[in-house]
Amino acid sequence: MRAIVWRLGQFFCICGPLLGLATSCVNLPTADDLIPQAPKFELKTLPSQPSLRPLGAPTLLGADGSCATPSGEFGGTGIALEMSECDVVQRVGTPDHVDISTNPRGERVALLTYARGDRPGIYRFVAGRLVSIERGAEPPPPEKPTKKGKAAPRA
């Protein structure tokens, strides 16, 4: 029994420093590693209202459906909410019917009706900005040319 204890003592004296070197490469987790941390990112918020320039006479439609000067506030060819009256007229064309009035809050309300063209419908503006679009009747699809069938062989 003494010999076994002696041999184990020699083993640990010789191999102990080597085991210390081997375990120094192992990183055990600390208490900070085990505690959940808050995410490290920054929250950015967008402004609640987009910054649109105030509308003046050039961006508002006249009673006859015409604009004094081009607005150019929005680029491209599409139609989007919050566009000015003249921006829509420049893209869609002169409306078939224009109705300009005021709502109970005293804001200008304009209804532009397009019965034909690429984008038929009713465009509703409040305070000079597009708030809704109602799709109009779609034009009928073009007629497909009929193919003439082969004549039956005569006997």
Q: Measured between alpha carbons, how far is 68 from 80 in angstroms, rounded to an integer?
A: 21
Instruction: Note the pLDDT of residue 53.
Output: 62
Task: Tell me if 148 is assigned to some domain.
Answer: no
The CA radius of gyration of the chain, in Å to the nearest whole number, is 39
pLDDT of residue 97: 92
Sheet with strand 129-135: strands edge to edge = 97-102, 108-114, 121-126, 129-135
Per-residue pLDDT tens listing for the chain (155 residues): 667 766 766 776 666 566 555 566 677 788 777 777 776 667 677 666 666 666 665 578 888 888 876 655 656 678 888 888 888 888 888 899 999 999 999 999 999 999 888 888 999 999 989 999 998 877 667 787 777 766 666 65
Closest to 103 in 3D by CA, of 79, 131, 136: 131
Q: Are 60 and 128 in contact (CB under 8 A)?
A: yes
**Residue 75, domain member (yes or no):** no
pLDDT of residue 31: 79
Number of domains in the chain: 1
Does the residue 149 lie in any domain?
no
Domain encompassing residue 121: 81-138
- Predicted confidence at residue 91, as pLDDT, reads 87
Residue 76, SS3?
coil
State if pTM tops 0.85.
Answer: no
With tokens 């420049």, the residue in question is 90
Per-residue pLDDT at 132: 95
Residue among 98, 93, 74 nearest 84 (CA): 74
Determine the Cα–Cα distance for residues 77 and 58; give it in Å rounded to an integer: 19
Measured distance CA(123)–CA(81) in Å, rounded: 10
Does the residue 133 lie in any domain? yes
- Best CA proximity match to 69, nearest among 77, 82, 60: 60
In a domain, 124, yes or no: yes
Cβ atoms 79, 133 nearer than 8 A: yes
Is 16 contained in some domain? Answer: no
Q: Tell me, what's the pLDDT at 35?
A: 79
Specify if 108 maps to a domain. Answer: yes
Q: What are phi and psi of 15, to 5 degrees?
A: -90, -15
∠ CA 146-150-153 to the nearest 5 degrees? 155
Q: Does 87 map to a domain? A: yes
Identify the pLDDT of residue 86. 87
